[in-house]
Amino acid sequence: MRILVTGGAGFIGSHLCEKLLNQGHDVLCLDNFFTGSKDNIIHLMDNHRFELIRHDIIEPILLEVDQIYNLACPASPIHYQYNPVKTTKTSVMGTINMLGLAKRVRARILQASTSEVYGDPKISPQKEDYWGNVNCIGPRSCYDEGKRVAETLMMDYYRQNKVEIRIVRIFNTYGPRMALNDGRVVSNFIVQALKGEDITVYGDGSQTRSFCYVPDLVEGMIKMMNQEDFIGPANLGNPDEYTILDFAKKVKDFTGTKSKIIFKPLPQDDPMQRRPDITLAKEKLDWKPQVSLDEGLSKTVEYFKNRLKKDS
Ligand code: NAD
Ligand code: UDP
């Protein structure tokens, strides 16, 4: 198949491109390099089945493809809040453009949605039928509401135009190729620990997250795209839940650092608990994460060690 991956030069997108190429597909990687980087895909460049397109999905594009994975969108709070209007445009206009393309060329399209559609959830674990608790006027809204509209657009193109859609709600994912300046908790803590800097816990660290190792996630996304009778939304994530303070302690242990844990103000609307219920993904996709946090974390620490060595 010929497969388009938008956001393909990003953290998750680059792993997806690599896996699809390994499966024998032709891959078109589209990216505007806002948070993505050529470094993430440089190793794919001499594969003749790989093409790189510099393009911004808020502009239409015409391509002949069989499947579209729509990942283009900054995912880290510091990056999606840098230009919030652009973030909303990327999720809304970008998803309209990709759905228009899917409709025209009869491609199947998978939307990378997010656990953020649940906002600051009042129930835990979160199931797909929970409608969420989202502030539509806060600093996270450009991302949360943008992704919620993207889901709405997917469902309406499905009902109105019979476009073949799939929706996955991705929970916190980590692993090699996260950018050093990504700003999310896993990269921040590991980089701080490796540099011997203070580890910055926001709030009192009692908020929780559940961390999925990136190859597990990519496996789930591909399974979702290629099964026939379930459009989603489906949660994809690792249900092992940690408080952020415990996670900071874990990173300290893993790296053997002398860094101190310090506390900084909790950002506005920071969700207090997040843990996926993955019953649907288990039943419909026969998918569950295989990699424990310990295993994934040690590989990710290794990756950041090498990155820092290269940069110094
Ligand atoms: P990332 O920032 O590394 O990747 C996003 C990619 O999209 C980057 O390469 C960026 O340059 C590109 N991009 C952004 N705006 C674009 C635009 N207008 N046109 C073209 N390209 C554009 O983030 P990631 O963690 O790899 O996330 C990928 C997708 O998965 C995002 O849609 C994100 O919302 C979703 N997601 C990620 C997580 C996670 O924990 N990593 C969780 C939930 C959802
Ligand atoms: N966080 C933190 N220190 C950091 C970065 C993040 O304590 O240096 C916290 C953040 O406040 C949130 C959690 O870690 O409660 C996860 O943040 P991240 O930005 O990784 O993703 P989110 O799930 O909030 O989108």
Question: Closest Cα partner for 103 from 166, 163, 30?
Answer: 163
| 72 is a domain residue | yes
Task: Tell me the percentage of the chain whose pLDDT exceeds 90.
Answer: 99
| 198 is a domain residue | no
Residue 110 has pLDDT above 90, yes or no: yes
Question: What tokens were used for 46?
Answer: 């001499």
| 303 is a domain residue | no
CB 119 within 8 A of CB 134: yes
Q: Is the dihedral of CA 229, 230, 236, 238 positive or negative?
A: negative
| 302 is a domain residue | no
Write the secondary structure of 216-239 as one string of H (helix), E (strand) and C (coil): HHHHHHHHHHHCCCCCCCEEECCC
Ligand 1, atom 44: closest residue by C-alpha? 114
Range of the domain at 38: 2-174+212-239+275-291
| 197 is a domain residue | no
The predicted pLDDT at position 311 comes to 82
- Ligand 1 neighbours (beta carbon < 6 A): 6-7, 9-13, 31-36, 56-58, 71-75, 90, 94, 112, 114, 170, 172-173
The predicted pLDDT at position 144 comes to 98
For the stretch 58-73, pLDDT in tens is 999 999 999 999 999 9
For the stretch 235-281, pLDDT in tens is 999 999 999 999 999 999 999 999 999 999 999 999 999 999 999 99
Residue 235 φ/ψ, nearest 5 degrees: -70, 135
Number of domains in the chain: 1
| 136 is a domain residue | yes
Ligand 1, atom 33: closest residue by C-alpha? 75
- Indicate the average pLDDT of the chain: 97
Rounded Cα gap, residues 192 and 254, in angstroms: 13
Mean pLDDT of 15-27: 98
Pick from 35, 169, 181 the residue to mutate for probing ligand 1's pocket: most ligand atoms within 8 Å of its CB.
35
Ligand lying closest to the C-alpha of residue 77: 2
CA of 93 to the centre of ligand 1 (A): 15
The predicted pLDDT at position 51 comes to 98
For the stretch 196-240, pLDDT in tens is 999 999 999 999 999 999 999 999 999 999 999 999 999 999 999
Rounded Cα gap, residues 184 and 80, in angstroms: 11
| 185 is a domain residue | no
Indicate which CATH number applies to the domain containing 132.
3.40.50.720
Question: Closest Cα partner for 181 from 278, 311, 12, 42?
Answer: 311
The predicted pLDDT at position 250 comes to 97
| 265 is a domain residue | no
